[in-house]
Structure 1
């Protein structure tokens, strides 16, 4: 196991991966790898970029089996915990939920819609850029449902960077317009 991943504690999503060749033993803590926060960036067009920072207190680190795909697309993978709360060495490939209406920004909130109803409640964390601040929202999609709407006040017509993490589904980092 030479692959080290940084993952979101609340949802299990891998948000960063590195190959620590020659490293052994216990991986360093998230603060050692990312500092106080891990900035994820998305282009908003016109030379603008939104930075969505994940606080290091909300992250953890795990040594896992080699999985080359995680280096190119970390949000497509998740860390599963053992009954003892330890990360399992094999990463989970998470199903995508892109397409029609997966993320919808409105002046009064953000709605996340996955492809099929979740079998049990699925935690959701959303970061939305808004000029100089980042809104951090948390909730869950109830069991046997496909969506959740999280309250947020935005200006109609604006474009924002969005990081959406729904437990059990691949993470999404993209730009979205308020409709």
Structure 2
């Protein structure tokens, strides 16, 4: 069995995995997911937010067999070599035991429990009634947070996907404070 993963090109987070027998998966993410890979978050009261990751923002690669990739892909990342090639061993990412994601009417604040030693790229998707907001930024070296500008209504509930390089991805329901 071979494992193929789809990962966010900007942060290296694995966002999906598939096990194949026989032929290898196509290297083009669009051939695997179409225009976008939909991630879903239950919002409560029978509502679900769909957060589509655009295929052009994804990459695909074959990796060493790691069964947990199939059940918890956001806990893993793909490490790139100096020449930009993905390595074969998926990396288990640090779990957020502190810090978090706070959504306010004027933006999304992402706080990690330990300040990175070098800038950490951040990508976040926030659901809204009709579309998804795609936010990008970085946590500076020796800093522990970034605020990404966004205007949302107070009190609303949104699905949020947060990817911070080096930390496990978070897919969760967040209420605007």
Q: Same fold (TM over 0.5)?
A: yes
Gaps of 5+ in 1: none
Corresponding residue SS for 1:12:
coil
Provide the C-alpha distance between the structure 1 equivalents of 2:143 and 2:65, rounded to a whole number of angstroms: 34
The counterpart of 2:107, out of the listed 102, 106, 109, is: 109
Aligned runs of 1:125-164 on 2, under 5 Å? Answer: 125-164=123-162
Structure 1 distance, partners of 2:57, 2:63, is 19
Q: What is the DSSP-based 3-state SS (H/G/I as helix, E as strand, rest coil) of the residue aligned with 2:32? A: helix
- In structure 1, the residue matched to 2:66 is 67
Superposed CA RMSD in Å reads 1.2
* 1:7-156 matched pairs, under 5 angstroms: 7-24=7-24, 27-99=26-98, 101-156=99-154
2:164 — aligned with what? 166
Aligned residues: 177
Contact 1:4–1:27 (Cα < 8 Å) also in 2 = no
Contact 2:26 2:32 in 1 (8 A): no
For 1:98 and 1:52, the matched residues in 2 are separated by: 24
In structure 1, distance between residues paired with 2:101 and 2:47: 20
Q: TM-score, normalised by structure 1?
A: 0.96
Counterpart-to-counterpart distance in 2, 1:2 and 1:48: 35
The Cα shift of 1:23 comes to 2.4
Moved over 4 A (4+): none
